[in-house]
Amino acid sequence: MIGRRHGAGFPVGMLVLVLLPLILMPIAAVFVFAFGGGPGEFLKALRTEDAQFALRFSLLIAFLTAAINAVLGTWAAYVLAKHRFRGERPLAIAINLPVAIPTVVVGTSLLLLWGPIGLFGKLLEPLGLQPMFTPAGVLLAHLFVTFPYMLGSVKPLLDELEVTYEEASYTLGAGRWQTFRYVILPALKGGLFSGTLLTFAHSLGEFGATVMVSGNLRLRTQTAPLYIFAQFEAGKVAQANAVAAVLAALSFVIFFFLLRYSGKERL
């Protein structure tokens, strides 16, 4: 407790005053509008076939994305942390790039690669395969966009992990897999947990890339964020807000767990 001054009322008040319209009030507005028509209207808006599909589809994609990227991301982190090779840095930068690329650009590039006019798309077309504008296309986009989160959560832990533990494990006669399973994996638990949650949360809210590759088909490829956008554009603010409130609540819960279990020291 050093440097904390008393009489912070004024600066804190100013900060809250500035943040109120920037962050706090918009969050509140979603809930105020969602429940504006009473809980009956809110539930009715949520119970439509389209809203239910959009929520389930978003969750499903988020689960799949989190599961796949948990494995892929941990593997990538392990390879990058344990091996020294030429081109290591460029590779590390490249796979972290999705954080910085605008998601709409991701969508466009996926379309250009996998779409009917794209490089892979042209090869797949004669086989009757067309991943774009299908759930597979949405999954591809989400895997791309959320890839770095797992890596970012796990790799720092692997970098800090003392080599001596691993060496001890090998000395005691453990194999590669046993070492990974009983020495490395337990040390990564926190990172795996927060990485998976972060991936899940980002997938749940992904919009820019999804809107490009999904075709926005109701009951087939319309995720919850796309549903919100489509309903809002169509002037059905109540429908849009009901699903928005659910997404916001889910993200609060996820954020709460992130803070509770891993992120404490970072804040």
Partner 1 sequence: MPPTQSTSRSRLEGGLLAAAGLALLLYAVWPWLPLPGRAARPRTVVFYGFSILGEALNEDVLPEFARRWRQTTGEPVEFITSFAGSGTVTNQIALGVPAQLALLSLELDAERLAAAGVIAPGSWRRLPHGGVVNRTPFVLVVRRGNPKNLHDFSDLARPGVRVVHPDPMTSGGANWALLAEYGAAARRHPGRESEAGFEALRGVWRHVVAQAASARAARTQFENGFGDVLVTYEQDVLGDAAKGKLPGEIVYPPSTVLSEHTLVVIDKKIPAADRPLIRALVQFLWSEPAQRLFVRRGFRSVDEGLNGDNPAFGRIQDPFRVADFGGWDRVKKEIVDGIWKDRVMKEIGK
Binding site for partner 1 (CB under 8 A): 52-53, 55-57, 59-60, 63, 111, 115-117, 121, 130, 132-134, 215-220, 222, 230, 232-235, 253, 257
What are the contacts of 107-111 at 24+ separation with CB within 8 A? Answer: 107/141, 107/208, 107/209, 107/210, 107/211, 107/212, 107/213, 108/212, 110/137, 110/140, 110/141, 110/144, 110/209, 110/212, 110/213, 111/212, 111/213
Is the Cβ–Cβ distance between 209 and 142 less than 8 Å?
yes
Rounded to a whole number of angstroms, the minimum distance from the CB of residue 211 to partner 1 is 10
- Of 78 and 193, nearer to partner 1 (C-beta) is 193
Which residue type, as a one-letter code, is found at position 88? E
Q: How far is the CB of 36 from partner 1 (least distance, A)?
A: 15
Instruction: Name the residue nearer to partner 1 (CB basis): 152 or 215.
Output: 215
What is the smallest separation between the CB atom of 50 and partner 1, expressed in angstroms? 9
Give the chain's count of helices (H) and strands (E).
14, 0
Which pair of tokens denotes residue 229? Answer: 């956008």
Q: Which is nearer to partner 1, 169 or 223 (CB)?
A: 223
Q: How far is the CB of 94 from partner 1 (least distance, A)?
A: 27
* 59/161 with CB nearer partner 1: 59
| Structural tokens at position 219 | 């009951």
∠ CA 108-109-114, rounded to 5°? 100
Q: Could you give the dihedral angle defined by the CA atoms of residues 122, 126, 129 and 133, in that order, rounded to the nearest 10 degrees?
A: 50
The distance of closest approach from Cβ of residue 17 to partner 1 in the complex, given in angstroms and rounded to an integer, is 25
In whole angstroms, how close is the CB of 142 to partner 1 at the nearest point? 14
- For partner 1, the closer of residues 31 and 257 by Cβ is 257
8 Å CB contact between 55 and 246: yes
Collapsing DSSP to helix, strand or coil, 176 comes out as helix
Whose Cβ is closer to partner 1: residue 179's or residue 194's?
Answer: 194
